[in-house]
Structure formats: structure tokens, C-alpha cells
């Protein structure tokens, strides 16, 4: 038998939908297994207003099971025997005396699957992990009866082609086979015929229920709309995921960007459109930003009415007006004049301000060029643009430094020293950028570990492991083995001492060991086990990561 559960609600936030697909499958699998139900497949679909979870290959009834449970000794006190009888629901003459103990053979009779579905649904509602939930309040009892990501409007429960109807605890509704079509284009009720017809029935009401299919449809619609003007889409996987979670059926449109904002840097234009409006950035054949934006909507536009597009363009003009104000205001103030404001930003309560961090980095900078990059590297944090778009930190530092005539390597380093931005992202190649990145990350790692701040278990809120991995990659992906790890650690420790910040006497050893352990993980993630063991050898202390990494 095939089980289909659809929970129809108000709009599910787009950013939560990808995770909900996996979490709902795991939750349903766990609940079915707890009920002793086997299945051949568990899957899920999600759209803006509905989460659908299904299981294929369920049996019509559970198997009858016999469980043997050992009880108290035959000569045990009466109270012990009474407690065992109560827990099993049996009488003394139903027990089997074997050796020194009583045994109970508890038979669980086979049960029809449809009798177990209410428990499965209630478990799903109770155990589905959402980052945030809304709660139903019962004014009669002043109690919260149910929680879900958004208010639930209907719940469909089907076993093959049969609806399973029962009242849902904590909600004023009964399950059935009724759901609804596209909220604007075909909002009428639908009588679901079962899992095999579910996606087809929704598609007839202009809902693509499969997330991956809808994502492809979004990309194709936007690509085709851009191609009509000989344009391409700027790749943006996260925006594509988010827009997929906003529409049931995609309709792509192109709007115009006001010429008054063409002086804004490409990064500012695309970030403002993506963050605030969920618009796609479009590119000309030479890779520059076109004077158009791409937008996906849940409804088509009328050919005789530009009201919707006029509104979308008007909102974008307001957003870009703000961005232009921030940009023009920031350009009027040299980055050098912003450095003193960093003393007002706390880096960490035990490690001083961001201004303190900059001064520590300056004290270990090996030459004048790197010292200049260090001096300016955090200054864009106090600009208006980064205050509005934190995603642009580093990028705006590079843009403003270039406009103010800074050395090209210095300007590039203000952006690149944040790299690598992830385990598979690139590392900086320029010497100034790489050196600044290394001393910045080493200062962070030394400060945290020297203050007793360490990641525990799977939790690492300050990204200490990621910082150590960044240091490792900066070393092993360099063109030459020109970095002395122990020297870099000791210089960072000396920077803290000059500011009177107390670190543990074992800081150098702790940091060294931490990096060694992370390097072992780095190697084992990239090699089969036998080769990793051969490369690392028996010596836990790795003295030359650059040479070892060349063997991977």
C-alpha cells in the first residue's frame, strides 16, 4: 500500500524548504519503523503552501509478534511480581516458570495499517524539526495544543486510493482527501485520488509539486526570458533555491534598471537586487551587468497591463536609491579615517576590540605593503554599505581602496584575505593576500584556543575548526613551502602579550596540536584510508604539511 500525507498550510518560508524535504523523510521513516511497518521507499515534496510526505510498499497489516520478557525470581517479594504482572497485563497463571525466573510471552496481534496512521500523523506533527514554529492556543484551557511552521488549513491522508479520516488532536480539522490548487489561478478544492495521481492532479492546477522539477522550470523560464534579449543569467544557486520556494509555477519577466544607478559597482547592484528583491542579475555577452533584471512570479503578466512590472521597477528604484546614497557617502570618507572607529566594535570580550586585533596584526606584518593592507583590512566594516549588506565586507574594502588610489595588491588583499570562504572555495594566490589571510586567521585561532574557547562535539559556533582548516589550506596550497607554522603561532602569541592579554601558558602547544589534528582530517578526507595511513605514517606530529600534501 502507498501512504500519502499532505499538510496544506500558509506559506512555508522558502529558506526552510530544502531542509524540510530531508527532515520530513527521516521523521516519517522513524515513525513507521517504530510501528513495525516496513516500506520500500519514503519520499517528500514541498511547495510554498504544502509539504507532502509519502511511503510506498506498506503492508496491509503488521505482523503478529511474540516477545519473551524475563520477570523477577520465583522467590522474589510479592511487590516485585505484582509490578511485573502490571507491566505485562498478565496474571500469574499465564507466566512460565523456568529455572529461577518467571517469563512472560507477550503476543502483539496483527493490526491493520489504517489504524496506525493517526499515530504516525500526530508523531509527524510533533517531531518535525522546524527552525521556528507557530503555536495554536486553546483559550478554554489556556494551553498550546499544536505547533507547525505556519497555520495548517487542511491535511490529506490517503492509503492507496482511500481517504483516512480522523480528527487531528490540537487542530479544529479532520483529515480527508481534500486539498487546493494554485492559490491565485486555480484555488478550487481538489479531491486527491492517491499517490499515483497526486503530482498529475496538482500540475493540472499549475502547481509543480516536485522541488527539483520546479527548480529546473524556474531556471529554464528565466534563461529563456533573458535569451530573448541576448542576455544570460548570473549564476546564483542560493537565489535559485529561494525563488523555487516562492512560486508554485514559474513565470519569468524582465524589468529595466534605471540608468541613474549604472555608476554603482556590479557587486552592489547584484547584491541589492538579490537580497532585497530576489531578482536575478542579467549579463551581456561580455559579462557586464545589463540594464535589466529578471524576476519570477507566481502569476503571468497581462500583455495589456504593465501595472505589476511598474511596481517591481519602482520598488527596485527605491532600493537602489538607498544603495547609491550609501555608496556616495562612503566614497567621501577615506578608509584610513575609518580605522579609529574599529575600537568601538568588540572582537571578543576576552580578546579586545577589532581595533586591538588590527594593531596586533600590524605588529607581526613582515613588510610595509602588508602592514598597509592590515591597517585597512577591517575598515569597511564601519561603512554604510557593509552595514546594509554584510555580504559585501571585503568586496567594498577592495572597491573603496581602489577608488582611493591604494596599491593594487593592497586593495585586492582587503577582499581576498577572507578566503577560503568554504572547504571547497579558492585560496588567495597573491603574496600580500595570502600573508594577510594567514596572520589574521592565526590571530583568531591563537586567541580563542589560548583563552580556553574550544569547539565541543559537533558544535563550533565561532568556526574555530574552519579557521584551522583555512590556515592549513593557505599553507598546503601555496606555490612554495615558505611558511614556518610554529613561528606564525609564536608571533601571534607575542601580539597578544604586547597588549597585556593573558593567554594560557600552553597556547603554542594547544594550537600546534589542534592544527595537526585538523590536518590529519584534511588528509583522510582526500584519500582512501590505506593511502592516508601511508602518507601520515605513525608519527602524529606533522612537521611539514606542504610536502605531505604533495603526496595526496
Q: Where are the extended beta strands (E) located within 74-180?
A: 96-98, 101-108, 134-138, 143-148, 152-159, 162-163, 178-180
C-alpha–C-alpha distance, residues 27 and 44, integer Å: 11
Q: How far is CA 405 from the centre of its chain?
A: 38
**Mean pLDDT value of segment 415-440:** 92
Q: Which three cell numbers mark 212?
A: 527539483
Q: Which secondary-structure segment (H or E) carries 156?
A: strand 152-159
Comparing CA positions, the residue from 240, 248, 246 lying closest to residue 199 is 248
User: Helix/strand/coil (H, E, C) string of 195-259?
Assistant: HHHHHHHHHCCCCCCCHHHHHHHHHHHHHHHHHCCCCEECCCHHHHHHHHCCCCCCEEEEEECCH
pTM over 0.85: no
**pLDDT at 173 exceeding the cut of 80:** yes
Q: Which three cell numbers mark 208?
A: 509543480
Per the rule left: phi > 0, alpha: psi between -120 and 50, beta: everything else, 8 is beta
* CA-to-CA dists, residue 191 to 180, 187, 198, angstroms: 9, 13, 10
Comparing CA positions, the residue from 332, 386, 376 lying closest to residue 354 is 376
* Greater pLDDT, 436 or 461: 436
**Mean pLDDT value of segment 319-329:** 95
Report the SS3 class of residue 433. Answer: helix
C-alpha–C-alpha distance, residues 541 and 125, integer Å: 50
**Mean pLDDT value of segment 225-244:** 95
**Angle (CA) 14 24 156, round 5°:** 90
Among the ranges given (71-75, 81-85, 301-305), the one the predictor scored with the smallest mean pLDDT: 301-305
Confidence of residue 538 (pLDDT cuts 50, 70, 90): low
- Over residues 393-410, the pLDDT tens digits come to 999 999 999 999 999 999
| Whole-number pLDDT of residue 277 | 92
Among the ranges given (27-31, 114-118, 190-194), the one the predictor scored with the smallest mean pLDDT: 114-118
What per-residue string of b and e applies to 118-129 under the rule 16 or more CB within 10 Å gives b?
bebbbbbbeebe
**pLDDT at 477 exceeding the cut of 70:** yes
Q: Which residue has the cell 591563537?
A: 446
Side-chain-side CA neighbours of residue 259 (13 Å): 0
**pLDDT at 516 exceeding the cut of 60:** yes
C-alpha–C-alpha distance, residues 365 and 372, integer Å: 9
Q: Where are the extended beta strands (E) located within 286-379?
A: 289-297, 346-348, 352-353
| Whole-number pLDDT of residue 540 | 53
| Whole-number pLDDT of residue 539 | 55
Which residues fall within 8 angstroms of residue 285, CB to CB, at 6 or more apart? 230, 232
Confidence of residue 440 (pLDDT cuts 50, 70, 90): very high
Report the SS3 class of residue 348. Answer: strand
Given a contact cutoff of 8 angstroms between Cβ atoms, the answer to whether 1 and 155 are in contact is no
Given a contact cutoff of 8 angstroms between Cβ atoms, the answer to whether 30 and 20 are in contact is no
**pLDDT at 427 exceeding the cut of 80:** yes
Given a contact cutoff of 8 angstroms between Cβ atoms, the answer to whether 88 and 106 are in contact is yes
- β-strands 346-348, 280-283: how paired? unpaired
Comparing CA positions, the residue from 233, 220, 227, 225 lying closest to residue 283 is 233
C-alpha–C-alpha distance, residues 269 and 277, integer Å: 11
| Whole-number pLDDT of residue 183 | 92
Which residues fall within 8 angstroms of residue 417, CB to CB, at 6 or more apart? 373, 377, 394, 428, 433, 436, 437, 440
**Angle (CA) 98 103 104, round 5°:** 145
- Over residues 84-143, the pLDDT tens digits come to 998 888 888 889 899 899 998 887 777 888 888 999 999 999 999 999 999 887 777 777
Q: Which three cell numbers mark 177?
A: 482527501
Q: Which residue has the cell 542576455?
A: 231
Q: Which three cell numbers mark 128?
A: 518535525
**pLDDT at 431 exceeding the cut of 90:** yes
| Whole-number pLDDT of residue 429 | 84
Confidence of residue 479 (pLDDT cuts 50, 70, 90): confident
- For the chain, the domains span 3-60+113-203, 65-108, 212-331, 335-549
**Angle (CA) 154 183 195, round 5°:** 50
**Mean pLDDT value of segment 469-483:** 86
Report the SS3 class of residue 10. Answer: coil
| Whole-number pLDDT of residue 215 | 97
Comparing CA positions, the residue from 26, 62, 18, 58 lying closest to residue 43 is 26
**pLDDT at 240 exceeding the cut of 90:** yes
C-alpha–C-alpha distance, residues 123 and 127, integer Å: 6
Longest dimension (CA), the chain: 96
**pLDDT at 467 exceeding the cut of 80:** yes
Q: How many CB atoms lie within 10 A of CB 101?
A: 14
Q: pLDDT > 90: what percent of the chain?
A: 73
Given a contact cutoff of 8 angstroms between Cβ atoms, the answer to whether 99 and 58 are in contact is no
**Mean pLDDT value of segment 305-321:** 91
Amino acid at each position: 500500500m502507498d501512504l500519502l500525507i499532505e499538510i496544506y498550510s500558509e506559506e512555508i518560508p522558502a529558506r526552510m524548504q530544502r531542509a524540510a524535504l530531508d527532515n520530513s523523510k527521516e521523521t516519517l521513516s522513524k515513525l513507521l519503523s517504530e510501528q513495525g511497518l516496513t516500506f520500500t521507499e519514503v519520499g517528500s515534496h514541498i511547495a510554498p503552501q504544502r509539504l507532502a510526505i509519502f511511503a510506498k510498499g506498506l503492508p496491509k497489516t503488521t505482523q503478529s509478534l511474540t516477545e519473551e520478557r524475563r520477570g523477577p525470581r520465583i522467590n522474589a517479594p510479592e511487590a516485585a511480581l505484582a509490578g511485573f504482572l502490571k507491566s505485562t497485563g498478565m496474571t500469574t497463571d499465564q507466566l512460565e516458570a523456568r529455572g529461577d525466573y518467571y517469563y512472560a510471552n507477550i503476543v502483539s496481534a496483527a493490526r491493520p495499517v489504517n489504524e496506525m496512521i493517526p499515530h504516525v500523523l500526530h508523531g509527524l506533527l510533533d517531531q518535525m524539526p522546524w527552525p521556528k514554529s507557530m503555536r495554536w492556543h486553546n483559550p478554554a484551557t489556556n494551553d498550546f495544543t499544536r505547533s507547525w511552521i505556519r497555520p495548517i488549513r487542511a491535511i490529506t491522508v490517503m492509503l492507496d486510493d482511500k481517504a483516512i479520516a480522523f480528527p487531528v488532536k490540537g487542530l479544529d480539522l479532520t483529515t480527508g482527501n481534500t486539498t487546493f490548487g494554485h492559490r491565485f489561478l486555480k484555488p478550487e478544492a481538489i479531491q486527491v485520488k492517491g499517490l499515483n495521481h497526486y503530482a498529475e492532479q496538482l500540475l493540472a492546477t499549475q502547481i509543480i509539486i516536485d522541488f527539483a522539477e520546479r527548480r529546473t522550470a524556474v531556471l529554464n523560464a528565466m534563461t529563456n526570458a533573458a535569451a530573448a534579449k541576448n542576455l544570460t543569467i548570473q549564476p546564483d544557486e542560493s537565489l535559485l533555491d529561494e525563488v523555487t520556494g516562492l512560486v508554485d509555477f514559474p513565470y519569468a519577466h524582465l524589468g529595466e534598471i534605471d540608468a541613474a544607478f549604472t555608476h554603482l559597482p556590479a557587486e552592489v547592484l547584484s547584491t541589492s537586487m538579490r537580497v532585497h528583491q530576489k531578482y536575478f542579475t542579467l549579463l551581456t555577452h561580455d559579462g557586464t551587468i545589463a540594464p535589466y533584471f529578471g524576476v519570477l512570479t507566481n502569476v503571468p503578466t497581462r500583455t495589456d497591463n504593465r501595472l505589476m512590472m511598474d511596481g517591481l521597477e519602482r520598488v527596485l528604484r527605491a532600493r537602489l536609491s538607498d544603495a547609491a546614497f550609501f555608496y556616495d557617502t562612503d566614497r567621501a570618507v577615506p578608509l584610513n579615517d575609518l580605522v579609529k572607529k574599529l575600537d568601538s566594535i568588540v572582537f571578543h570580550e576576552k580578546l579586545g576590540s577589532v581595533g586591538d586585533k588590527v594593531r596586533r596584526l600590524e605588529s607581526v606584518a613582515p613588510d610595509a605593503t602588508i602592514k598597509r593592507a592590515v591597517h585597512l583590512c577591517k575598515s569597511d566594516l564601519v561603512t554604510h554599505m557593509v552595514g546594509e549588506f554584510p555580504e559585501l565586507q571585503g568586496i567594498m574594502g577592495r572597491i573603496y581602496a581602489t577608488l582611493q588610489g591604494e596599491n593594487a595588491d593592497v586593495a585586492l588583499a582587503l577582499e581576498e584575505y577572507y578566503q577560503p570562504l568554504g572547504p571547497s572555495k579558492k585560496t588567495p594566490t597573491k603574496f600580500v593576500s595570502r600573508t594577510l589571510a594567514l596572520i589574521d586567521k592565526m590571530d583568531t585561532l591563537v586567541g580563542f584556543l589560548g583563552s580556553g574557547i574550544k569547539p565541543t562535539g559537533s558544535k563550533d559556533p565561532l568556526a574555530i575548526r574552519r579557521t584551522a582548516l583555512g590556515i592549513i589550506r593557505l599553507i598546503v596550497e601555496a606555490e612554495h613551502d615558505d611558511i614556518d607554522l610554529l613561528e606564525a603561532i609564536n608571533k601571534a602569541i607575542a601580539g597578544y602579550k604586547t597588549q597585556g592579554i593573558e593567554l594560557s601558558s600552553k597556547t603554542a602547544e594547544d594550537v600546534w596540536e589542534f592544527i595537526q589534528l585538523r590536518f590529519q582530517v584534511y588528509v583522510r578526507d582526500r584519500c582512501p584510508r590505506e593511502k592516508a595511513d601511508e602518507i601520515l605514517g605513525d608519527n602524529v606530529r606533522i612537521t611539514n604539511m606542504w610536502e605531505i600534501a604533495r603526496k595526496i
